[in-house]
């Protein structure tokens, strides 16, 4: 992401809490133009093509809805969630108790 710090970047997301995505990008040194779509909205190709910026960053949740060759400026940002060990233990225990078919 360092190479994008001096470029004109647009960040697009249809996440329920888009500000978290934008904050994550800013924490990496980017200053993106923010485009927050309604949750689960599909960005159509004309709308994508109308976006300005040398680089367009989007979550995989949103990008999966677009054709692979939608726009050469488009880059997918993979987001990894790490659960605290105590929460992961509780989830694992609950699944073990209730079984996978519950």
Reported pTM: 0.77
Distance (Å, rounded) from C-alpha 92 to C-alpha 39? Answer: 29
Helix, coil or strand: residue 55: strand
- pLDDT tens track for 60-78: 988 988 888 889 999 999 8
Q: pLDDT digit string (tens) for 81-99?
A: 888 999 999 999 999 988 7
44 vs 42: CA distance, rounded Å = 6
Give a three-class secondary structure readout of 22-70. Answer: HHHHHHCCCCCEEEECCCCCCCCHHHHHHCCCCEEEEEHHHHCCCCCCC
Statement: 2-98 belongs to CATH 3.40.50? yes
Grade residue 102 by pLDDT with cuts at 50, 70 and 90.
low
Extended beta strands in 1-102, E state: 9-13, 33-36, 55-59, 74-77
Q: Which sequence spans correspond to the domains of the chain?
A: 2-98
Which pairing describes strands 33-36 and 55-59: parallel, antiparallel, or unpaired?
Answer: unpaired
């Amino acid at each position: 992401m360092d190479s994008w710090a001096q470029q004109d970047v647009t960040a697009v997301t249809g996440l329920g809490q888009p500000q978290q995505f934008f904050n994550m990008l800013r924490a990496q040194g980017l200053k993106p133009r923010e485009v927050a779509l309604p949750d689960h909205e599909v960005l159509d190709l004309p709308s994508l093509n109308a976006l300005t910026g040398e680089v367009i960053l989007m979550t995989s949740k949103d990008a999966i809805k677009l054709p692979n060759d939608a726009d050469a400026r488009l880059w997918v940002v993979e987001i990894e969630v790490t659960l605290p060990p105590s929460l992961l233990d509780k989830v694992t225990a609950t699944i073990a108790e209730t079984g996978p078919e519950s």
